[in-house]
Structure 1
């Protein structure tokens, strides 16, 4: 197992280092510079709060090609009826904190700690991280956030306080940026996103697309 030096922002090459479970490295830190470097390499942090930082590049990779999104009849009606309103980058920190508090099936705790929040807020201020908000009657009821690397949006987490809020937001913005986003990195499999058209692709294919980006 490769341990990172907190004073040296470097990672093993995920193309050359290919552990079966996708765990590339342990340790390091969560400073904005390391996070930005990691996402450009195809890595992301995922661990339980209080544990060592774990850096992953799974094979296969769970992704969404925006032009392959599946929208059910019921979701088309929800969007057509304007049940929700949508904004971008209006309350980034509030979105990430809602994601931190969201309960997730099969997970105890969260990897979203205060250090990670602080670094993502800084990346947002630098224009690297973005939030997408879903509102209902003036209340923030859903949303998601992530990092933009060229034409690839690396989705980090989402939350929903009312039924269909996060799904409506994901569909709205995926459709809006269908001609700009080449790919959405969903990282880890979820039935929620699979129902919308996300699928597994070989890690090497994802890394090749990532290398083509101008960030």
Structure 2
């Protein structure tokens, strides 16, 4: 018997959990509406595979796609051109030294290209998550200038990637490549890319069924999830090979 699809309207209970199997088919993966962006609710829903994605004009929309876009660090595809670029790269790649600037650049670039889901509320919520040790930025620096990067949430062995930006060619790819190179020391086994894109698939991402993704979450994230602070290596310079 197939389950009837339905959209859950979240209550004030920050630990309320939608059923991902009831997510809509159109728009695909939409599971719940409303609620808030408190730290507790965000961590609880991310821990179970949900993420917020909406524009300023909309209420908060929570998604759980049937096919999840995921990158395993050891499957990152290093193209010949990117390999040449990494060998010529003379800058540095750091973690958590410019989170505010990273999310701001991501917001600005998305806004210029296609509109953005990184609203003021999202930016404030993730900035608080960063201060609490849950959200992190990987930053690409050239001299004293930030030229690219990405940010996301780390829970257990998962890194939930949110957005990336490049002010110079290949800068965001360098950030993701560095994250993959350092995944073992960071305790990261899975990188969640949420929604499929040609760009992500070209870098080695793949699609996995929702049920497989849910099983990964159960195995890789503790029930009582604590901040990882990515092993408290906030001043580490990443080595790009």
Q: Is 2:55 the partner of 1:48? A: yes
Contact 1:130 1:146 in 2 (8 A): yes
Question: What is the TM-score when the length of structure 1 is the normalising length?
Answer: 0.93
What is the match of residue 96 of structure 1?
A: 103
Q: Is 2:5 the partner of 1:8? A: no
What is the match of residue 155 of structure 2?
A: 149
Instruction: Look up the SS of the partner of 1:103 in the other structure.
Output: helix
Please report how far the alpha carbon of residue 110 of structure 1 lies from its aligned counterpart in structure 2 after TM superposition.
1.4
Cα displacement string for residues 62-114 of structure 1 (whole angstroms, at most 9, x for unaligned residues):
0001111110112112112224310000011111111111137983x211112
Cα displacement string for residues 1-33 of structure 1 (whole angstroms, at most 9, x for unaligned residues):
22112x21112132x424321100011111222
Please report how far the alpha carbon of residue 50 of structure 1 lies from its aligned counterpart in structure 2 after TM superposition.
2.0
> Which one of the candidate residues 74, 80, 92 is aligned to 2:81?
74
Question: What is the TM-score when the length of structure 2 is the normalising length?
Answer: 0.83
Distance 2:152 2:94 in 1: 15
What is the match of residue 208 of structure 1?
A: 215
Please report how far the alpha carbon of residue 123 of structure 1 lies from its aligned counterpart in structure 2 after TM superposition.
0.9
What is the match of residue 33 of structure 1?
A: 40
Q: Which runs of 5+ in 2 are unaligned?
A: 1-6, 226-241
What CA RMSD, in Å, does the superposition of the two structures yield over aligned residues? 1.6
Instruction: Look up the SS of the partner of 1:70 in the other structure.
Output: coil
Distance 1:18 1:105 in 2: 30
Instruction: Look up the SS of the partner of 1:78 in the other structure.
Output: helix
Distance change in 2, residues 1:104/1:71 (3 Å)? farther
Out of 147-156 and 80-89, give the one that drifted further: 80-89
What is the match of residue 182 of structure 2?
A: 176
Count of matched residue positions in the alignment of Structure 1 and Structure 2:
212
Cα displacement string for residues 165-187 of structure 1 (whole angstroms, at most 9, x for unaligned residues):
00111111211215632110000
Q: Is 2:132 the partner of 1:123? A: no
Instruction: Look up the SS of the partner of 1:35 in the other structure.
Output: helix
What is the match of residue 114 of structure 1?
A: 120
In terms of fraction of residues, the more helix-rich structure is 2
Q: Is 2:92 the partner of 1:85? A: yes
> Which one of the candidate residues 17, 21, 26 is aligned to 2:22?
17
Q: Which runs of 5+ in 1 are unaligned?
A: none
What is the match of residue 161 of structure 1?
A: 167
Distance 1:198 1:63 in 2: 5
